[in-house]
Amino acid sequence: MPGAERPVPIPMKLIVGLGNPGPQYDKTRHNAGFVAVDRLARRWASPSDTPKARFSGIAQEVGVKGNKCLLLKPTTYMNLSGRSVGEAVGFYKLDPSQDLLVIVDDVAIPTGAIRVRAGGSAGGHNGLTDIQRALGTEQYPRLRIGIDACPKAMKLEDYVLGRFTDEQAALLGPAIDRACDAVGVFVEKGLAAAMNAYNGKSDEVTK
């Protein structure tokens, strides 16, 4: 109707964990983002917050101290993650630089460490590359979970699709907990607060 006010988008934070669907990829290094989102769902979801097939992924709406969030695991496989993220961002009319947080594995960071970043290049990560293609920007926050550098004797694809060693798995659990804590700060207080709280020296891991 002419002159009618346009509906105001509902405030929403979109938390995306990257990974590959299917049992053959369960607990692989490349699925660290899926592991973090599953942990967040256990923390935040109520019995009525049922996961649903939406946005080319598995989505679950949760509440975090009065803030509305959507947890999303794309089921497009890693290299097409942008399709899922783009659908959700477009549906809720989100500002990727403020409302989106992508949780992703990173071979440039030691296992046990995490980093929160406001944006930047994909760093060779195919999932991030496709998200940047879909959004048309590199300026969206990401939370990087360290998985150690690929050994020189291995192909990168084989390494990231392999499962964590026992030593790495022992370091990963606490890192996932810190990552979930960082997401909570992002949702409640914003990106700067999460970066200040979780990018300090206390997050360094000595091995």
* CATH code of residue 67: 3.40.50.1470
% of the chain at pLDDT higher than 90: 89
pLDDT of residue 2: 56
* pLDDT tier at 66, thresholds 50, 70, 90: confident
pTM of the model: 0.92
- 125 is an active site residue: no
Domain around 88? 13-203
Catalytic: which of 30, 73, 115, 144?
30
Q: What is the pLDDT of residues 149-197, one digit of tens each?
A: 999 999 999 999 999 999 999 999 999 999 999 999 999 999 999 999 9
Q: Domain count for the chain, please give it.
A: 1
Q: State the virtual CA torsion across 172, 74, 127, 142 in degrees, nearest 10.
A: -60
Q: Share the mean pLDDT of the chain.
A: 93
Angle at 38 between CA 94 and CA 60, to 5 degrees: 45
**How far out from the chain centre does Cα 93 lie?**
19
Distance from C-alpha of 37 to C-alpha of 42, rounded to nearest angstrom: 9
The answer as to whether 181 is a domain residue is yes
Task: Report which of 159, 121, 156, 126 is spatially closest to residue 142, judged by C-alpha positions.
Answer: 121
